[in-house]
Chains A and B, each alone.
Chain A
Amino acid sequence: MELLNAFVVSLQAVWADSGFSAFTMGNGIMILVGLVLLYMAIVKEFEPLLLGPIAFGCVLANFPRTGFFTDPGLMQAIHYGIENEIFPPLIFLGIGAMTDFGPLLARPVTLLLGAAAQIGVFVALVGAMLLGFTVQEAGAIGIIGGADGPTAIYLSIQMAPHLLGAIAVAAYSYMSLVPLIQPPVMKLLTTQKEREVAMEQLRPVTKFERVCFPIVAAIIISLLLPPIASLLGCLMLGNLFRESGVMDRLSDTAQNSLCNIVTIFLATGTGMTMNADDFLRTETLLIIGLGLVAFIAGTAGGVIFGKIMCRLSGWKINPLIGSAGVSAVPMAARVSQVVGMKAKPGNYLLMHAMGPNVAGVIGTAVAAGTMLAMLK
């Protein structure tokens, strides 16, 4: 009898300590959300390298009593890296090492398209404030329109950490949906004649220009907007690794191993912010809706400014490259290429669209820096 009692008490203790006893309906829903995101990442291949770990992180975050954020360990270390803005600049280091600024240097006027596309950020900010979000929350939500995951995470952590999960998921989901969201907006705002504009070949860019640009840009932007010095400093450092020609090993590490490792940490950690208490709210749906508005407005802003530049340049700039100003490197540039090719086979816009595309990355970071300076 005593043995049976001991057995029952032990079983009760195991049950009481298990996750099942503390499992809530909210946890169940969030695990389902995680599984749906995993399906989208693996089967539909929507940004699988990011959405995969985010989705799995979401599943992990909804196991009760794991102590992920309270007990020292790997998960707490990952959370520390996100909370203290360590991972986004490291991702930017890799992006810098992967990015060719050549098209931007060859035609600097396309910087304006990257600036115009940032209108999406502020349209969403206005929308969020009208829906009752605080100014800091609205700024963090608006940055989804920049289509730049690391910057969105960087800004959210500083301005609205409780919304990080929803903002990151909205940003990465819409980035993966760029090929579906942008073309209808681009076609709606341009005429067939505008879409057929062929652009002149870009001038060759010398190594001197390629090496000087990241150094000078880092100095100017960091002095002007210190809050984003670590983001843009890392972007330019990574690019210097790439362009200097004498740091190939560092460039290789930054754009491959380091970037992959940090992506695993950043994406998993972001997914782990999606616990039921923080995510299952009406605000999440509003954020996802506002993110879509931001993407559409950003695309429209870039294309409309592209139309203006098309006229001012005497039909030498195809307005379709304006949509690439929303960052999402290089997917947005590919969309410009595909839509341009459909309008006129043989019209290659990819390299031309890379100019506004990388300008968009810088523009989004500048917008984030300005908001941090004004609103934080």
Chain B
Amino acid sequence: MSQPVTTNPLIIMLINMTVVFLVLMALGVVINLIHIIDPTKPKAAPKEEVVEEAPAVEAPAAEPVTAPVEEGISPEVVAVIAAAVASMGYGAGSVRAIRPLDRDNWKNSGRNALQSRF
């Protein structure tokens, strides 16, 4: 075993913490560089979504045919679903439509069985 560079614990702490921060910051720079040069990243996708979403929100007013909440669903049920969605951290605007599932019990049972393992 060779001689240690220093035996002063505070200097060891200072040097080591500096090195750890510098190396991890360098990795951060590398991650950002990889993201910048990434040829596969979706280009300006978020902007397009915003442009598409804006008329989509207004659409029901202009075209009342596509009702966001189907008939037979009471306002109380809508309120409960919106509250449940909000409790998961999403805003009220996240609810776009409420439709009942098709009533095929065999299909629903199959879906439940598949999803229960997660």
Contact = CB atoms under 8 A, between A and B. Distances in A.
Nearest to A104: B31
B38 to A, nearest CB: 5
B15 to A, nearest CB: 7
A370 B26 contact: no
B108 interface: no
B105 interface: no
A367 B16 contact: yes
A93 B31 CA distance: 21
A105 B31 contact: yes
A326 to B, nearest CB: 13
A143 to B, nearest CB: 11
A73 interface: no
Interface string B24-54: 1111101110110011110000000000000
B24 A112 contact: yes
A129 B9 contact: yes
B38 A209 contact: yes
Interface in A65-122: 104-105, 108-109, 111-112, 114-115, 118-119, 121-122
Given A115-B20, A118-B20, A135 B7 contact: yes
Contact of A347 (B17, B38, B89): B89
A112 B41 CA distance: 25
A311 to B, nearest CB: 19
B32 A108 contact: yes
A362 B24 contact: yes
B17 A119 contact: yes
B60 to A, nearest CB: 26
A125 B20 contact: no
B116 interface: no
Contacts, number: 117
Contacts of B9: 122, 125-126, 129-130, 135, 138
A367 B89 contact: no
Contact of B34 (A115, A126, A212, A371): A212
Contacts of B19: 366-367, 370
Contacts of B23: 221, 224-225, 366
Q: How large is the interface on A (under 10, 10 to 19, 20 to 34, 35 or more residues)?
A: 35 or more
B88 interface: yes
Contacts of A112: 21, 24-25, 28
A345 interface: yes
Nearest to A101: B31
Nearest to A126: B9
Contacts of A135: 4, 7, 9, 12
A136 B87 CA distance: 52
Contacts of A367: 16, 19-20
A374 B38 contact: no
A282 interface: no
B47 to A, nearest CB: 14
Interface of B: 1-2, 4-7, 9-10, 12-13, 15-17, 19-21, 23-28, 30-32, 34-35, 38-41, 87-89
Interface of A: 104-105, 108-109, 111-112, 114-115, 118-119, 121-123, 125-126, 129-130, 135-136, 138-139, 198, 206-209, 212-213, 216-217, 220-221, 224-225, 345-348, 359, 362-363, 366-367, 370-371, 374-376
18 contacts: A105-B31, A109-B28, A122-B9, A123-B13, A125-B12, A125-B13, A206-B38, A209-B35, A213-B31, A221-B27, A345-B87, A346-B87, A347-B89, A348-B89, A362-B24, A362-B27, A366-B19, A367-B16
